Amino acid sequence: MTLIALLAGDGIGPEVTAQARRVLEALAPDLVFEEGAVGGAAYRTQGHPLPPETLALAKRSDAVLFGAVGDPAFDALERAMRPEQAILGLRKGLGLFANLRPAKLFAGLEDASALKPEIARKIDLVIVRELTGDVYFGDKGRGLTRTGLREGHDLMRYDEVEVARIARVGFETARTRRHKLLSVDKANVLETSQLWRDVVNEVARDFPDVALSHMYVDNAAMQLVRDPGQFDTIVTGNLFGDILSDQASMCAGSIGMLPSAALGSSAQGMYEPIHGSAPDIAGQGKANPCAAILSAAMMLRHSLDRADVADRIETAVAAAILAGARTADLGGSMSTDAMGDAIMAQLG
Ligand code: NAD
Ligand code: IPM
Ligand code: MN
């Protein structure tokens, strides 16, 4: 039995994962789905954003299909109880240290991109984002300075093993593409980044066939809108990867288009759109389900060894878009369901 833990979460999470499930049920009818409560929805019913049953379900699943978490109603809770802790707890709890975030422009979306069409057309990159370290998981706290001022801190930290293993994923990923790896850091200012750069250079010796270069994150943010076509595989830390991937999404047309795969050292993975719960459009049937559907395709490819089915889904999304299917974020007026219908129709 192949068990998929379906963690839909908050806001548009349930709306977009419903479309992903629909596609999976049509193309991989043997998959068994079990739903788990997560995020604000879980806090409401069970008093915790990541109830132990949900973590246990995720651990015994072959793969996790995740929607989104986050609810403004819970932004004032103590941090440990906020919806976002669910996703961080799952990543850490499942050991998913590598996050693949591909960004490419689907033909026909040139006008949806924030860039000029001739520049947008060239974007085809993957961000390999470290996912269980950095300032996200370092010591954090609040207090008072000696003079009584309120202060807060979040420690940015990596050790060499954490950097080496994500660097390897970066090089391996580059090998499946154009053999070009760019490591993005802030080594001109941050010691964490200098260690990062040193270790990436050491790991590079095992990958002489991959051309490695380095770039500071501020320049990378600028280059991403100036000429995204220069990038192939980008490896970077947790925080920089978070920010650059949202930016890359708008170069490719919409945040509603970008899927992701969170991977560890086994075949198990967690698959989710890079976007959040979008409270501003939740419940209106407006959300673009493509990122969720493409995440399901990544799940088939990376965790379930069904690249052929993944290809079919990606081809169907591309065909639906080429045929003019558009939700509001892409400049159209289709509902989430209608976009799902358009993709299903392409699957035949
Ligand atoms: P967001 O990604 O939810 O939304 C940003 C903007 O993009 C909004 O205007 C939204 O309407 C739009 N958008 C996002 N996904 C879309 C889609 N599929 N189709 C059409 N439009 C889409 O980011 P935010 O507003 O900063 O955060 C909202 C909540 O989500 C917060 O609680 C945040 O912590 C959480 N969040 C969760 C995840 C996750 O679960 N992986 C990721 C990011 C943010
Ligand atoms: C993402 C989100 C998360 C992150 C938040 C919700 C914790 O922004 O998956 O990109 O920062 O990793
Ligand atoms: Mn993010």
Task: Tell whether 101 is in a known binding site.
Answer: yes
For atom 30 of ligand 1, which residue has the closest CA? 276
289 CA: nearest ligand 1 atom: 18
- DSSP-assigned letters across all residues of 166-232: HHHHHHHHHHTTTSEEEEEE-TTT-HHHHHHHHHHHHHHTT-TTSEEEEEEHHHHHHHHHH-GGG-S
Looking at residue 286, its pLDDT comes to: 98
Burial classification of residue 128, based on how many CB atoms lie within 10 Å of its CB (0-12 exposed, 13-18 middle, 19 or more buried): buried
CA nearest ligand 1 atom 31, residue: 70
107 appears as a binding residue in the annotation: no
Q: Is 328 annotated in some ligand binding site?
A: no
Distance 348 CA to ligand 3 centre (A): 34
Q: What is the mean pLDDT of residues 194-208?
A: 99
Question: Which domains are assigned to the chain?
Answer: 1-101+258-348 (3.40.718.10), 114-251 (3.40.718.10)
Per-residue model confidence as pLDDT tens digits over 75-107: 999 999 999 999 999 999 999 999 999 999 999
**CB–CB of 146/113 below 8 Å?**
no
Pocket lined around ligand 2, Cβ cut-off 6 Å:
70, 84, 87-88, 242, 274, 276
Cα(265)–Cα(206) distance, integer angstroms: 19
Gap between the Cα atoms of 219 and 179, Å rounded: 22
For ligand 3, the distance from its centroid to the CA atom of residue 208, given in whole angstroms, is 32
Reply yes or no on whether the pLDDT at 303 is more than 90. yes
286 is in an annotated binding site: yes
269 touches ligand 1 (CB under 6 Å): no
Atom of ligand 2 nearest to the CA of 238: 12
Q: Report the separation in Å between the CA atom of 297 and the middle of ligand 3, taken as the mean of its atom positions.
A: 20
pLDDT at 159 over 90: yes
Query: How much of the chain exceeds pLDDT 70, in percent?
Result: 100
The per-residue b/e assignment along 326-345, b for 16 or more CB within 10 angstroms, e otherwise, is bbbbbeeebbbebbbbbbbe
pLDDT, position 232: 98
The secondary element (H helix, E strand) that includes residue 38 is none
Largest CA distance in the chain: 69
The band of 15, judged by pLDDT with boundaries at 50, 70 and 90, is: very high
Average pLDDT, the chain: 98
pLDDT of residue 41: 98
* Ligand 1 atom at shortest distance from the alpha carbon of 39: 40
pTM over 0.80: yes
Mutate to test the pocket of ligand 1, among 260, 277, 333 (most ligand atoms within 8 A of CB): 277
Atom of ligand 2 nearest to the CA of 131: 12
Return d(Cα 244, Cα 222) in angstroms, integer: 10
User: What band does 348 get if pLDDT is binned at 50, 70 and 90?
Assistant: confident
- Cα distance from N-terminal residue to C-terminal residue, the chain: 26
Taking residues 225-236, what's their average pLDDT?
Answer: 98
Paired with 213 in beta bridges are 182
Amino acid symbol at 317:
V
